[in-house]
Amino acid sequence: MRACVQRVSQASVTVAEEVCGQIGPGLLVLLGVAVGDTAEVASQLAEKIAGLRIFNDAEGKMNLAVGDVAGSILVVSQFTLLGDARKGRRPSYTAAAPPELAEQLYERFVALLRDRGISVATGRFRQHMQVALVNDGPVTLLLDTADWPR
């Protein structure tokens, strides 16, 4: 799985001119599911993101996680995170999981965050979405579970 995690003061996702998910302070997670990803990978990534200490404490140090600040998470599926543009000008998406598997693991990832008591909003899988956000910091992290030790 690959995730672009952004600390935001607000974020929303719109489908067909209808806001289907929005949050105030928290995290926007753009999530790509790769070929070979499993429920265990989804669990590891959810745990990592839920525990990321990227919110400021009383001393202004990034020392708190999203749950510590009563923040929310907006999760938006984005298979294009797995695009490979090393050759030519048209990215290849062969590393992205098939939609059926990707949707299952996307939903699992969302459920795992909710199981941790975090308020989670979502986009709509396989829909054209417009994402609006105010990046706070800016703070943006790229996480790729393929790079993690097994």
Cis geometry, peptide bond prior to residue 91 (ω within 30 degrees of 0): no
Contact 63, 12 (CB under 8 A): no
Asked if pLDDT for residue 150 goes beyond 80, the answer is no
Asked if pLDDT for residue 52 goes beyond 80, the answer is yes
pLDDT digit string, tens, across residues 19-43: 999 999 999 999 999 999 999 999 9
Domains of the chain: 2-136 (3.50.80.10)
Closest to 33 measured CA to CA, from 127, 99, 84: 99
| Pairing verdict, β 119-122 and 72-77 | parallel
pLDDT band with cut points at 50, 70 and 90 for residue 149: confident
pLDDT of residue 112: 98
Please say if 125 is a catalytic residue: no
Q: How far apart are CA 76 and CA 24, in angstroms?
A: 15
Please say if 140 is a catalytic residue: no
Please say if 80 is a catalytic residue: yes
**Active-site position among 6, 14, 78, 122:** 78
**Active-site position among 6, 79, 109, 122:** 79
pLDDT of residue 125: 93
Q: How far apart are CA 16 and CA 121, in angstroms?
A: 17
Asked if pLDDT for residue 106 goes beyond 80, the answer is yes
Contact 83, 93 (CB under 8 A): yes
pLDDT band with cut points at 50, 70 and 90 for residue 114: very high
Contact 96, 33 (CB under 8 A): yes
pLDDT digit string, tens, across residues 69-97: 999 999 999 999 999 999 999 999 999 99
Angle at CA of residue 1, ends 137 and 36, nearest 5° = 175
Closest to 131 measured CA to CA, from 139, 121, 142: 121
